[in-house]
Structure formats: C-alpha cells, structure tokens
Chains A and B, each alone.
Chain A
Amino acid sequence: MRSLATTWQTVGPYFRIGMERLMVADIAGEGVEGQRIRVQVRVLDGDDVPIPDAVLEVWQANSHGKYAHPEDTQDKPLEQRFRGYGRIGTDDDGWLRFDTVKPGPVPGPGDVDQAPHLVVGLMMRGLLKRLVTRMYFPGEVLNQTDPILMLVEGARRKTLVARAGVEDVKVLTWEIHMQGKDETVFFEL
C-alpha cells in the first residue's frame, strides 16, 4: 500500500538552533577547481522590507558540470573536496553571502545542455513549505537555450539571473522578491 509524503511545515523564526551547525557559506573549499565567485543575495518581502529570518540552500555541480551524487553517471571528474551544498541564513538586513565556484553545464531534458545554474531552496518564517528556484549567471550564451529558462515567460527570466558587479565581475548580486512587480520566478518540481 502506498503512503503519502509527510506534510511540510514552516521552519519558523528559530531554525538557526537546529540548522546553524550545517550552515555552509564557503561551498568550494581550498583546492577545488573552477572560477571563484562570491554571491550576495538579498531577500525582500511584498513591501520590499528585507527578510532577516530566511535560510537559503544551494545545490550545484562542480566546475566540470558533475554532481557529487551516485545518479550523476557522466564521465566527468568528481572532486573529493566538493560536496556542492550550501546553507546560508539572511542577516538583519536581509542579505546573505556565499563563496563558491561557478558550476559547469549539466545535461537537461533531451540531453540539451542546461546553462550553468545553482539550484536553490528557500525557507523562512511565513513560508509553509520550501520555495524552489534557480540562480543563473549573467552573459551566458547557454541562457538563450536553457530548457528550464525557456519555460519561463520572457519578461520574468531576468528575475533568475544574477547581476555581475561593476568593479568586480566575480561578485554577483541576486535579489529575491517574494512578491511585487519583480517577483522572483519559483518552480514546481
């Protein structure tokens, strides 16, 4: 007999008690290959008020486009020191920051390469279940053909693409708007 998956409940405002231990803001430690980037994310509510009690989880492939997971059977190098997981909470001003390497492209539906992206899960007080989204990289040719981005109406795709810094292109800024005219695209898996 089939049972049904357990119901989600909010992380609430006090998730740090349980989730702090595995907070990871330095996703790619020393020796991990690839282009180093810093990502700064701001999370804003429907009144554009910064959200100080959100937690973001990142899942990503390494710079070769390989996930540290048994179901990734691609013939690409794995790196022992790279799990590809990050967990970061927002500060009092709704900001969170993490360092990582830019992931390589991974295959998508029909074996079409997906553009480099971070898979993102977002939780907070007031979210009864996780929101799933993705962060894409600015100026990527593959963004024009990415099979997931193509499912998003053209005008909203920009909500998924981070901005490169003016002074340092390796510093990316991404705003997550829960609501409003720039509401971020969230996915149903």
Chain B
Amino acid sequence: MGLIAPYRRPYAGTQPEYLHAPYVSTVKRAPTRPLVAIPQTLSEVTGPHFGKDDIVQGAFDLTKQHAGEPLGERIVVSGRVLDEDGRPMPHTLVEIWQCNAAGRYLHKRDQHNAPLDPNFTGQGHTMTDEQGRYRFVTIRPGEYPWANHYNAWRPAHIHFSLFGPAFATRIITQMYFPGDPLLPFDPIYNCTADVAARERLISRFDWETTIPQEALGYEFDVILLGRDATPTEEPKRR
C-alpha cells in the first residue's frame, strides 16, 4: 500500500480538552490517562461514504416535515464544508438536530417544562454539493435550561455532525448565533482554550441568503482537518 499521508493533528488549543470541570458531566467521563499517540494507518485515513440512497429528499427543510408549519422564526442556515487548505468537501453527509423554538427537544429525556411542537421534529440532513455547499431551512432554536449549575441556560445552538473523507476527519459540533447573551456563561461553548476557535462556532447573519418576507439567513462554514501532501510514517505534530 506504500506510505500513508496522514491528516493533520488539530492546532494547539483549538480543540477542547476532555476534562473541563465547569461542564460537570466531563468529570466522571473524561479519560484520566494520556491518550496513546498512534500513526494513522489505512484504517484511519479511510472512512464511510454515503450516497444519494442514504438521503431523504427534502430532509434539508425542517419546516416541512409535518402537516403544519412549526412555530418560531424561520431561518436559512447554509455554508461550506472545506478542509484546512480551503479545498471544498463535496458530497459529504451533514446531519443536524436541534430543539424547537420554545427550547424543547423531542426526546424522552428532555423534561424541560416547555411545549413540544407537533409540527417540529428537529432532525435534518443533506449532502454537500460539488462545491462543498450545504443549506438547511429550519426555525431558530430556543435557549433551554439544564442542570449543570445554578440557573444554567444553553445558548441557542444547532448540533452538526459531519464525516468528511476519512474516519480521521469526523466532526460533531454546535453552531451558535451572533450576539447571544448566554455565550459568555456557557461551559460547553467556552470549553476550548483558543478564543478565536470558539468564535468560529458562531454563525454570521447573512443578508445574501436571507429570503425577503420569509426567513433570515445565517452562514456557518465547517472546516475539516487538512492533510499534508508528503506521506510519512511518523505522526505529524505542529
């Protein structure tokens, strides 16, 4: 098989540590031993690929999954999936989930005393196009309380899950909204040391994709780990 060109390791400080005590659930779940660094092999530079058969047509529109329209402010969330070198990632699966406009998830464990919306499930998925672009239509999710600490509220967010070309490029993240006053208080948003890396999780209001009389547009790009051209047997550090 010859030598394997590995995907880069994340730049220092731009990814969370596992243990982040302000987010209480990490305390009993974060590993306590150092991770064992391994070279990427064929097993890690390959990964599952999904095609048109894995996609439900129209699943990009979360406002059209039921008989009626969900309550809340309609929004368009779109952007590009690129790697660290700016190369578009075409035909890659993007899955999202979110709570409804009242801040309630359609999930048996969500006991928040806010109404469910019979016209909103909160699940969407799509495939990026040739240029790595994706687009969802949904409603702006509400903020919701959680039990992490006294009077804890999550800022409004949409969960994103992407694969990219390899097992090594998998990412699951959360997209936030500009100007959310809860961001400075949220231990999950603030778990990453690098402030600029955090701020890249905040979408941008986008007039271009805003639909007149219909929906506000927000732009959110997702960047996957890049890859060095030179194959090597040693894991790359930077």
Q: Which residues of A contact B (CB under 8 A)?
A: 1-22, 45-47, 49, 51, 53, 57, 59, 61, 67-69, 71-74, 83-85, 106-111, 114, 117, 119, 121, 123-131, 134, 147-148, 151-152, 178-179, 183-189
Residues of B116-159 whose CB lies within 8 A of A: 121-125, 159
Residue from B16, B37, B98 in contact with A128 in the complex, judged by beta carbons closer than 8 Å? B16
Q: Which residues of B contact A15 (CB under 8 A)?
A: 97, 159
Whether B27 lies near A18 (C-beta < 8 A) is: no
Whether B26 lies near A4 (C-beta < 8 A) is: no
- Give the number of residues in B that approach A within 8 Å (Cβ atoms): 86
Q: B20 on the interface (CB 8 Å rule)?
A: yes
Q: B67 on the interface (CB 8 Å rule)?
A: no
Whether A9 lies near B188 (C-beta < 8 A) is: yes
Q: Which residues of B contact A17 (CB under 8 A)?
A: 97-98, 105-107, 121-123
> Given known contacts A46-B27, A71-B46, A127-B29, is B36 in contact with A6 (CB within 8 Å)?
no
* Contact sample, A vs B, 16 pairs, CB 8 Å cutoff: A8-B172, A9-B174, A14-B159, A15-B97, A16-B107, A17-B98, A17-B122, A18-B159, A21-B125, A83-B49, A85-B48, A106-B43, A109-B4, A126-B29, A128-B17, A179-B29
Closest residue of chain A to B56 (Cβ to Cβ) is A21
Q: Mark B10-42, 1 if CB is under 8 A from A, else 0.
A: 110011111010010111111111011111111
Q: Which residues of B contact A14 (CB under 8 A)?
A: 97, 99, 105, 107, 109-110, 159
Q: Which residues of B contact A (CB under 8 A)?
A: 1, 4, 6-11, 14-18, 20, 23, 25-33, 35-49, 54, 82, 84-86, 95-99, 105-107, 109-110, 121-125, 159, 161, 166-168, 170-174, 188-189, 191-192, 194, 197-198, 200-201, 221-226, 233, 235
Whether B192 lies near A7 (C-beta < 8 A) is: yes
Residue from B43, B96, B159, B201 in contact with A11 in the complex, judged by beta carbons closer than 8 Å? B159
- Secondary structure dominating the interface of B: loop
Whether B29 lies near A51 (C-beta < 8 A) is: yes
Whether A3 lies near B223 (C-beta < 8 A) is: yes
Whether A131 lies near B28 (C-beta < 8 A) is: no
Whether B95 lies near A6 (C-beta < 8 A) is: no
| A1 CA / B174 CA spacing, docked (Å) | 24
| Interface pairs A-B: 8 shortest CB-CB | A18-B97, A126-B25, A69-B46, A85-B48, A128-B16, A126-B29, A46-B28, A188-B35
| A73 CA / B2 CA spacing, docked (Å) | 10
> Given known contacts A15-B159, A186-B36, is B173 in contact with A9 (CB within 8 Å)?
yes
Q: Which residues of A contact B110 (CB under 8 A)?
A: 13-14
Q: Which residues of B contact A67 (CB under 8 A)?
A: 42-43, 46
Known pairs A8-B15, A18-B159, A152-B36. 8 more at Cβ < 8 A? A7-B173, A7-B197, A7-B200, A20-B123, A45-B29, A121-B170, A187-B35, A189-B44
